[in-house]
Amino acid sequence: MKRILFLMLLPFTVAQAQVTIAPAFPERGQTVTVTYNPDGKGIPADAAEVTLVFPYSTFYDVPYRIKMKAQNGVWTTSFKLARYATFASFYLQSGEAVNRPAPDELYEVCVYKDKVPVCNAELHRAYSLGSAMGKSPQLGARQEEQYRKELKRYPDNYEAKVRLLAYQMNKAKTPKEKAKFRAEAHRVIADKFKTAATVPGDMNKVTMGYLIIGENSRLDSIRAVALERYPHTGLGRDLLTSAIAREKDTAKQIARYEAALKEENRENAADFDGMHERLFALYAARKDSAKALYHARFFSFPKDDSPYYPEKLKDIAQALLDNGIALDTARMFASRSLAMAERFPVGIIRYFPETGYIYPYATDSARQVVYNTAKGNLHSMLALIDMKQGKDAAAAKRMEQAIKSSIDKETVDNATLFYSATGRTRELQELEALRERDMQARIAKQEIRKPAPPLNTFVDMNGRPLDPASLKGKIVVIDFWATWCIPCMQEMPYLQKLYDQYRNDPDVAFMIVNSGARNTLADAQGWSGNKKYTFPVYYNTDPAIGDKFKFTVIPATYVIDKSGHIRFGNIGFEGPDVEMKLRLQIEMARNKE
C-alpha cells in the first residue's frame, strides 16, 4: 500500500510550478521571492532576460519593472514588503513575449497578517482585476466578489462599502432597487462625513465616495456644508482658504483673509498656513515687500517632514524675483533651497493619514536627474537675481554653473532670458545647440520599432473615412486628444507650429485625432479649435484604439515611420519642449529609413 501511495504522489512531488512565490503568506517587513522555471510557454526557455512587471501594485517603494536574475536555468527576484503594502499583481515579460497564469489572470502577491489578508488587500485585488481582465463582461462580478470578501473580514471598510453599493446600483433591475442602494450609499458617506472635522483625510474620502457613485455635482455642496458646520477646524479653514481664492477681486481676497486671521493664535496657527501663503502671493504681486515677507515667515520654516519644503522655498524666491522685490531675501530663500537640492521629491510621493508620506522607488540615475535639475533651476534663478542687482559678471559665472548642472526647460528659459537681456548672442546660440543635442540623445534612447495598428478607424470632420492608402510611404504624426482634456488643449499651439514646418513636406502627414470616450463626432465638429488651427483633424470610431496603441492617458502622440512601424510614443503634455521633441523624432524616423 505504501508503495502504491508513493507512486501516486511521485508525479506531484517532482513536478515544479512554473512560478512560485515564497513565503506562501507574506507579511509586512518580510522579503518575498518570486521564482520562475521556464517551460517555453509564453516566454522562450532560452530567453536572454526576464522582467517582472507590476501593472497594479501598492508596493510603492518597489520598482514596477524588476529584471530577474538567472541561475542554473531558473529566474528569481526578491523584494521587501513595506509597512503599508497590501496587494500587487504581476506578469513576466521577455521582449514581446509574456507569461501569465491564464489569458485573463495575473500572478498575485497578497499581504497577510497571521495568514489573513490585511485590510484593503481584497479591495485592492478588486482594483487589480481590470489590469488582468481588461473589458471582460465578467469584470464587475469578479470585483463584487472581492468587495464582499473584504467586507466579510473588515465590515467597517468604508471604501469597499461604497464600491459594492455603486456596483449594486449599476446592476439594479428597477428604479426602486437602484434608489434603495443609492440611499444606502448616501448613509455610508454621511457617516464618514461626521468624522471629517477631526480625522485628517476623511473629507477626501467623503468626496471620493460621491465620485464613486457618480454624484460629482455634490462635491461643491458638501464642501460648503463642511465649511458651515466646522468653520473653526483645520478642515474648515482649508476650505475657507480655497473659497476665498475663487474671489476674482484680489482686494476683497486680501480683506477676507486678513479678517479670518484675527482668529489665529498659538494653538491653531497651523490651520492658517494656507491663508498666509495666499496673502504672501497677493502682496508680492502688488510689490508690497513688507507685507509679503511678513506672511512668508509663517510658512517658510519646516513644521513637519514634508518632502515639498525645498520646493516651497524655491517658490517663495521665484515670486519675489518675478515681482522684483526683496531681492536679497529672494537670494536667501533660493540659497536655502539650493542647499537642499538633494531633498527635492523624486516621483509621485503619496500621503495617507494612516501612513504619512510614502516615497516611491527611484533609480539612482533618476534621483540624480531631479537633483541636478533643482540645482540648475536654482543656480539660474540666483544668476537672474545677480543680473537684476547689476552683477552681470557674477551672473554669467552662475549661469554657466547652472547649465553644467542641467539644461531642462526652466534652466534654459532663465539662461535665454539672461543672455538675451545682456546681449550675449554667442552664448545664446551655443545654448540652443546644446539643448537640441541633449534632446536628441534622450529621444534616441526612447526609440522603438513595432508595427502600428491599422489606421482604418478614422473619419474626417465631414464623416468621410480616411483612406489608409493615402498614408502609405509617409511618416505619420498621430495625436490622440479630446475636447475636455485640458493638457490636450495646451498642446495644440505647439502642434500647429510643428505642422506649419511640415505642411508642404510630401513625406510627412499629420493626424490630430479626437479619441475621447465621452466625445462624439458632433463634439469634434463643434470644437472651436477647428477655426483656430489648420492641421487636419479626425475623429476615432474605434473604442478600443487605446488598447491597440497602448495608451490610457491623453494626449498621446506617436511617430510612425514610412514602413508602418511606431518609432516613438509620447504620453502626456510635456510643455513647449514637445515642438522640438516631435521635430527631432520625425527627422530621426526619416533618417532611419
The whole-number pLDDT of residue 13 equals: 32
What average pLDDT does this structure show over 72-77?
93
pLDDT in tens, 320-362: 999 999 999 999 999 999 999 999 999 888 888 778 899 999 9
Q: What's this model's pTM, rounded to 2 decimal places?
A: 0.81
CB 201 within 8 A of CB 352: yes
Burial class (CB in 10 A: 0-12, 13-18, 19+), 230: middle
Give whole-number Cα distances, 114 to 21, 111, 124, in Å: 17, 10, 19
What average pLDDT does this structure show over 457-485?
92
Q: What is the DSSP string of 118-134?
A: PTTHHHHHHHHHHHHHT
Run of H or E including 424: none
* 8-state DSSP, 301: S
Q: At what angle do helices 158-171 and 202-212 cross, to 10 degrees?
A: 10
Q: Per the structure block, which three cell numbers stand in for 2?
A: 505504501
Burial 73-91 (b: 16+ CB within 10 A, else e): eebbbebebbebbbbbbbb
Q: How far apart are CA 296 and CA 329, in angstroms?
A: 11
Run of H or E including 224: helix 218-229
Q: Is the pLDDT of residue 425 over 80?
A: yes
Q: Is the pLDDT of residue 429 over 70?
A: yes
Confidence grade of residue 2 (pLDDT, cut at 50, 70, 90): very low
pLDDT in tens, 534-575: 999 999 988 888 878 888 788 999 999 999 999 999 988 888
The whole-number pLDDT of residue 11 equals: 34
The whole-number pLDDT of residue 331 equals: 98
Q: How far apart are CA 433 and CA 178, in angstroms?
A: 63
The whole-number pLDDT of residue 6 equals: 33
What average pLDDT does this structure show over 390-396?
97
The whole-number pLDDT of residue 550 equals: 82
Q: How far apart are CA 293 and CA 298, in angstroms?
A: 9
Residue 44, by phi and psi: left (phi above 0), alpha (psi -120 to 50) or beta? Answer: beta
Bridge partners of residue 79, in order along the sequence: 32
Q: Per the structure block, which three cell numbers stand in for 188?
A: 455610508
Q: Is the pLDDT of residue 4 over 70?
A: no
Is residue 566 classed as helix, strand or coil in its secondary structure?
strand
Instruction: State the CB neighbour count (10 A cutoff) for residue 312.
Output: 17
CB 540 within 8 A of CB 460: no
Q: Per the structure block, which three cell numbers stand in for 334?
A: 533660493
